Chain A
Amino acid sequence: MTEDEIRSAYIEELVKVAPDLDPAGIAGSDHLQDDLELDSMDILNLVIALNARFGVAIAEADYPQIATPDLAAAFLKSRV
């Protein structure tokens, strides 16, 4: 998977967790909490979804690495 494909897949899972987000309006640099207003339960649900989709273990200490679509794409690419 390319980084772009991973980023799209990440946004797909993100919108499943937060169905009131408009995928077209999410920028690569948008921060989950500061810009997209996700709470800790949403983030945990996203981690569960990403783990299931990519088979990548995301420890709590790694959460900052998936805090924006761009960061997450780079992080997941290095782990897939």
Chain B
Amino acid sequence: MAVFKMPSLGADMEAGKLVEWLVKPGDPVKHGDIVAVVETQKGAIEIEIFEDGVVEKLLAELGQSLPVGAPLAVIRAAGQVVTEAPEAPPSETPRADVEATAPVAKTEPSTVPPSPAPTGIAASPAAKARAAELGIALQSLTGSGPDGAIVLADVDAAKPAAPPSAKPERGAYLAEMRKAIAAAMTRSKREIPHYYVTHTVDLSAATDWLNAANAARPPEERILMGALLMKAVALAAREEKAVNGHFGEEGFTPSKAIHLGLAIALRGGGLVAPAILDADRLSLHALMEAMRDLTTRARAGRLKSSEMSMATLTFSALGESGVEAMAGIIVPPQVAIVTAGAPGPQPLVRDGEVVAAQAVTLTLAADHRVSDGRLGSKFLIAIDAKLQIPEEL
């Protein structure tokens, strides 16, 4: 029997509000399943489970704000025999017919019949859809339908006094996200002694190779320069282990796996940096797909808990139109971030001559508790070397 706890949601998130259970007692779960959804300052996050077994009991209720580490559910390992009698369910009316051996805890008030729906709340499909659309939690509503079921009219009645547009709500959401970013970055600047190294990489070879490759491809198979940069960063991180890992209470723990966080800017302000797992082992096409998927879900506010907390190194690029360089702030508990200015023609010296060539300026911010500028320099030079042989990325 194991207690499944609220996982870390990333450096800047301390709690999440439980808005949906996707499992109920008795459901089998396996490693990687999404079992719940929490609402955070950075949008909805899907909570994954990392053990196999059967849901014995749900411990957290919808609408609850849950700090990282809060117990969410009891999971019985596959094959494990039920040894404990489930606790008597909290019930508004005393019930004599509760079976002590019933594996399913009846946590619903007796006025609401158990429902097969994942939310455990009786509601018509139309009501559920409308509630989801309006962002109203079903458990906050009183049902007027048969047996207290929530019907469409109940949802409509609970609709907040209609704002003329969705903008104020989005504004408030972005203000919350700004607070989360500020808190995490303040902590980073306070705790991490940053040092910075900068290097301009000649992208002529990478640009020519990419243009030639993309010209023959339909748009859905085209690769962006951003994917080449990410792959080069991930491969170089294999060589300089002091930039890839987490710094915790016991100091720095390097990570064998390279989970590269990708900073994604959200319209109107706001930033998330979910991780692409094992980025160094993905082909450029697979990396592109992962970047596309993450960008789409980041915009929709639907990232996974593992993606929010597992990055071992972050990459952030300004994109195609912008200034030539940007310095980043490390996302704790990571120890380094690589930032790229906008790629563009820059004056480079080749064989004693100044030439205009496509280039990108990379900046590394790294943690002085773990490494020094000399190592940072080697890391950026390793990224440069990878980008000179684009066909091997």
Contact = CB atoms under 8 A, between A and B. Distances in A.
Contacts of B265: 37, 39
B300 A19 contact: yes
A42 B300 CA distance: 13
Contacts of B295: 39, 41-42
Contacts, number: 52
Interface in B358-388: none
B222 A20 contact: no
B170 interface: yes
Contact of B219 (A19, A20, A37, A48): A48
A59 B224 contact: no
A20 B264 CA distance: 14
A45 B170 contact: no
The contact size tier of chain A is 20 to 34
A40 to B, nearest CB: 5
Given A22-B165, A37-B265, A47 B291 contact: no
B226 A41 contact: yes
A34 B321 contact: yes
Contacts of A37: 265, 267-268
A39 B319 contact: yes
Interface in A50-72: 51, 58-60
Nearest to B267: A37
Contacts of A45: 292, 296
A65 to B, nearest CB: 14
Q: Is the interface of A mostly helix, strand, loop or mixed?
A: loop
Interface in B70-105: none
Contacts of B219: 44, 47-48, 51, 58
A20 B224 contact: no
Interface stretch (B136-144, B178-186, B210-218): B210-218
B211 A60 contact: yes
Nearest to B221: A48
Contacts of B300: 19
B299 A18 contact: yes
A27 interface: no
Contact of A41 (B167, B170, B224, B267): B224
Nearest to A24: B165
Interface of B: 165-167, 170, 211, 214-215, 218-220, 222, 224-226, 264-268, 291-292, 295-296, 299-300, 319-321
